[in-house]
């Protein structure tokens, strides 16, 4: 398609997506950038480029920038906001993470992963009551959500509530034995 029409932005974006799926990240980045050179207001290409940086290369500042460009054009994308929040958490910028995750939850209130991630942010900021509320909501929405149970156990521990942490250990046992053992080790420290 590109040979027939060299300025076919959508074809470059699809090629970028294919290269990302093949884990050929430099090629994916190059093709998404070419799509955006041709069509700078192509929101999906911005999101695709963000996905390469986020999922593929863990280049979080670049991912955030690409997602924000896409969000300027198409603002109601819960996943892009979630990925921005996760990126900020990985960079230990928890306040910024909370802002992005709140936006994801505004768009999609039943987004269990965003409730978990914002709970993780609050836990790291030592805002334990907010962490508990968010993590409990994640578990209410998705009862078998391993990471939310684990983070809830860590929050109970941080608050000095070993009984609550043990409850989360018991909830984790049938879901993920390895994560359950990790929580138990933290409880027994």
* pLDDT, tens digit (0-9, with 9 covering 90-100), for 159-176: 999 999 999 999 999 999
Handedness of CA 140, 111, 132, 152 (dihedral sign): positive
- Per the CB < 8 A criterion, the answer to whether 109 and 99 are in contact is no
> Residue 1: pLDDT above 90?
no
Averaged pLDDT, 26-39: 98
Distance CA 44, CA 13 (A): 8
- In this predicted structure, what is the pLDDT of residue 114? 98
**What is the largest distance, in Å, between two alpha-carbon atoms of the chain?**
66
Between CA 82 and CA 104 the distance in angstroms is 6
CA distance 165 to 149: 9
pLDDT tens-digit readout, 96-151: 999 999 999 999 999 999 999 999 999 999 999 999 999 999 999 999 999 999 99
């Amino acid at each position: 398609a590109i040979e027939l029409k060299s300025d076919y932005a959508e074809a470059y974006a699809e090629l970028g997506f294919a290269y990302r799926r093949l884990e050929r990240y430099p090629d994916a980045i190059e093709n998404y950038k070419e799509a955006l050179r041709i069509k700078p207001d192509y929101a999906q290409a911005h999101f695709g480029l963000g996905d390469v940086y986020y999922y593929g290369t863990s280049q979080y500042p670049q991912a955030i920038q690409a997602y924000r460009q896409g969000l300027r054009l198409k603002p109601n994308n819960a996943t892009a906001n979630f990925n921005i929040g996760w990126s900020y958490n990985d960079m230990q910028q928890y306040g910024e993470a909370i802002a992005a995750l709140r936006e994801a939850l505004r768009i999609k209130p039943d987004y269990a992963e965003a409730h978990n991630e914002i709970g993780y942010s609050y836990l790291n900021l030592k805002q334990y009551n907010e962490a508990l509320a968010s993590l409990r909501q994640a578990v209410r929405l998705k009862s078998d959500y391993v990471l939310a149970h684990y983070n809830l156990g860590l929050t109970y521990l941080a608050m000095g509530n070993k009984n609550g942490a043990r409850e989360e250990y018991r909830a984790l046992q049938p879901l993920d034995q390895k994560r359950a053992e990790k929580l138990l080790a933290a409880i027994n420290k």
